[in-house]
Structure 1
Amino acid sequence: MTIVLDDTLLGDPVALASADTGGVLRAAATAGAQVRSAAQAAVEAGVADLAGHRPRALVFLRRPGSSGAAAEIVGALLGSLCPVPIVVADVVPGWIGPLDVVLAHSADPADVELAESVSRAVGRGAEVVLSAPAEGPVASAGAGRARFVEPRIPVPPALDLPRALAVALTVVSSLGLWPGGLDPSLDPLADALDAEAERNQPNHEPFMNPAKSLALRLAERTPLLWGADPAATAVAGHGATALATHAGVVAHAADIAQAATATALRRAVDLADRGEDIFRDPFDDPGPDSPPVRVVLLATAEEEPGQVAVRRTGRGWPADLQHPVDEVPRGTRDAVLLRTALLASRLEIAAVYLGLATRAIEPA
């Protein structure tokens, strides 16, 4: 069934505020504050003391919520040049030992499997950084033995990617895995996310608000979120999750070269690009049940994404481009990181706007 969007809601800040009784938009706008608070909490937890330690492996524990997206994004940002293996696992591997570093993030204080993994990891002498609520079995499993980073800004679990990402970045930077290192405060990242939240605030009209504009473009469409580079592809996966969580929209997320191998999907893209036949009678020929597709091409690197698409797939694509080089200019230090976080935030807020305007987000 096609989800119908009330586009008038997106142009009415008062109506938006009335619809957002749960404060989801306000929570989504805390990305920069989450990064700052998590970075400070990581400093107080002694994460910087990992400096000089070269682990046999860096293990990300992927649990329900944002931990998997954070692991995929950081892994994509570090890339194949990372000097140590990065392992993403649902539970701590059986080979874990004192030469390894384990990073666990969860918003669920009662995750029994995670508590067991943390207990096993600290019991075997691994360095463990635990980002989780302060009470419950998970916190107890690492008490006194893990470097504990407690959340300080309450947000729904589906909106805590900035916190998960900030803790992961402090770990990889402290371990010397980030080229040139990162400012322990992560202020440049927080500033970029604050600026994105400002652009996307409810008082801005859709033509001035990139998240509202994206929500309108995705309404009554099947989104194809395709990444032109590894970090953008990781963000695409997170965007698909955000659309499902907040708007009940099913989206396809993939690397563009991989997506281009799906022949039926290629035909759907070309059909959508040709547009609807103005002479078709919708009563005699209602057409397909599924909404037409819309390609959103995400990019975080310096090169123009259209050129990347042609080089990697052999053709151009009719796509909405999300390549925030105006917001994060070429040549900016850690530009790929800043654009990656910015796009993740934009997709989340667009999903929230879409969910509010389609009533997928129910009143609290």
Structure 2
Amino acid sequence: MLDDTLLADPRALAALDTGGVLRSAATAGAQVRSAAHGAQEAGIATLRGHRPRALVLLRRPGTSGAVAGLLTALLGPGCPVPVVTADAVPAWVGPLDVVWAHTADATDADLADGVERAVRRGAEVVLSAPHDGPVAAAGAGRVRLIEPRVPVPPGLDFPRGLAVGLALVSALELLPTPLDPDLDALADLLDAEAERNQPGHEPFMNPAKSLALRLDGHTPLLWGTDAVAAAVAVHGADALAAHAGVVANADDVARAAQAAGLRRALDVAARGRDIFHDPFADDLGEPAAAPPRLVLLATDDDEPGQAALRRTGRAWPSTDLLHPVEEVPRGARHAAVLRAALLASRLDVAAVYLGLGTRTIEPA
């Protein structure tokens, strides 16, 4: 169980966080800025006007799968070119295609093979990876390599991968409106989120601490009310597993609502347990399963509760809402991109707080 007194004591948190995981989780804005600058130095902007036959997003262990899913959702069905998400470089890749890959593992042999194959076949390759090791070497100087400049522990490099992906799709003019190459608005937003989530702030002022407390002792159900939010939910489930050892369900709300068992579990949790319930008499002393906690995520302008009602035909009791319209007002330029990145960062920091509070994150 989470030691909630720990979350209220920044000195105790600092003493426990000997590996500086919280500090690393607060570097999302810095990661975005450094990745945007690296993308400019790698000449990503020269791809403007290039219309590839296909954009291939590679999923590798780590955060790249979640980044690829979010980029695909942001591009949406209106994307003017096919977007292919794959675990390995497809056999058909050729000089008309663009390949994106992101990794924190410089020694990923399968990715190194894929990069070498894509380069040999003439594809344009954008690689977010450490400069030392087989992966970067496989590019043989013929890839656009963006190196990490802000070191973070495994699992906290999502902002870097996202920034490189956004720089790429913006340069290819696949978004309805291009992003600023510096990604300053996104970096500033993530800096402000890090300030809200700093250890010195009490939970009522700290959205990441508040979320960690709400999820403690529960099975999180992270359901997106739109496609982009559902992709962020997948990243949230990955973060909870990586940093807090928590198993979460993540999906689009309309698909998730088809699971009858989850619906029943939510209804039971909403009714609450009988105060006279004797767990030893009724459950033969077996520990009860952690009750579910439904969290609706949204990145569009619609109120998530209403969106879930419209898409599923029912109201969802005892629901937490993650819909950062105060931080990114309705009608804001690139609102879905900004809200998605903010929610991903909040989920990262909440998972780290939960991991520290439950002693899942071990001292360095």
TM-score range for the pair, normalised by the shorter chain length: over 0.9
Alignment partner, residue 305 of structure 2: 306
1:82-121 equivalences under 5 Å are 82-121=79-118
Asked whether 1:75 is paired with 2:78, we answer: no
> Residue 256 of structure 1 aligns to which amino acid in structure 2?
V
- 2:336 alignment partner, SS class: helix
Q: Aligned to 2:280, what secondary structure does the other structure show? A: coil
Question: Which residue number corresponds to residue 245 of structure 1?
Answer: 242
1:225 aligns with 2:222: yes
2:146 aligned residue: 149
| Cα distance in 1 for residues equivalent to 2:170 and 2:52 | 13
Code of the aligned partner of 1:225: L
User: Which runs of 5 or more structure 2 residues have no equivalent in the other structure?
Assistant: none
Q: Which residue of 2 aligns with 1:32?
A: 29
Helix, strand or coil: the match of 2:95? coil
The aligned amino acid for 2:108 is: D
1:275 aligns with 2:272: yes
Distance (Å, rounded) in 2 between the aligned partners of 1:162 and 1:52: 26
Whole-Å separation in 2 of the counterparts to 1:260 and 1:61: 29
Between the aligned partners of 1:144 and 1:124, the Cα distance in structure 2 is: 15
Q: What's the RMSD between the two structures over aligned residues? A: 0.9
Counterpart CA distance in 1 for 2:175 and 2:32 is: 17
d(CA) in 2 for partners of 1:156, 1:178 = 31
How far has the Cα of 1:288 moved from its partner? 5.6
**For 2:296, what is the secondary structure of its paired residue?**
strand
Partner of 2:12: 15
Paired letter, 1:263: A
**What SS is found at the alignment partner of 1:188?**
helix
1:163-182 matches, cutoff 5 A: 163-182=160-179
User: Secondary structure at the residue paired with 1:233?
Assistant: helix
Query: In structure 2, the residue corresponding to 1:159 is in which secondary structure?
Result: coil
In 2, distance between residues paired with 1:143 and 1:17? 42
Q: Unpaired segments of 5 or more residues in structure 1?
A: none
Partner of 1:134: 131
Question: Per-residue deviation at 1:99?
Answer: 0.3
Matched, 1:195 2:192: yes
Aligned partner (choices 202, 213, 216) of residue 216 of structure 1: 213
How far does residue 303 in structure 1 lie from its aligned partner after superposition? 0.6
Question: 1:347 corresponds to which residue?
Answer: 347
User: How far 1:134 sits from its partner (Å)?
Assistant: 0.5
Residue 356 of structure 2 aligns with which residue?
356
Distance 1:358 1:67 in 2: 27
* Greater displacement, 284-293 / 343-352: 284-293
| Alpha-carbon shift at residue 157 of structure 1 (Å) | 2.4
CA distance in 1, matches of 2:320, 2:288: 23
CA distance in 2, matches of 1:149, 1:299: 30
The one-letter amino acid paired with 2:293 is R
1:2-42 C-alpha deviation (Å, 9 max, x unpaired): xx111100111111111111100000000000000000000
What is the CA distance between 1:343 and its match in structure 2? 0.4
The letter of the residue matching 2:347 is L
Deviation at 1:179, TM superposition (A): 1.4
CA distance in 2, matches of 1:130, 1:289: 46
Give the distance between the partners of 2:333 and 2:322, measured in 1 at CA.
Answer: 20
CA distance in 2: counterparts of 1:186 and 1:71, whole angstroms = 18
Query: Deviation above 2 Å: which 4+ runs of structure 1?
Result: 281-289
Cα shift at 1:147: 0.7
The number of aligned residues is 361
Choose which of 39, 42, 45 in structure 1 pairs with 2:39. 42
Structure 2 CA distance for aligned equivalents of residues 254 and 331 of structure 1: 25
Q: What secondary structure sits across from 2:324 in the alignment?
A: coil
Counterpart for residue 182 of structure 2: 185
Distance 2:94 2:324 in 1: 41
CA shift, 1:275, in A, is 1.2
CA distance in structure 2 between the partners assigned to 1:192 and 1:42 by the alignment: 20
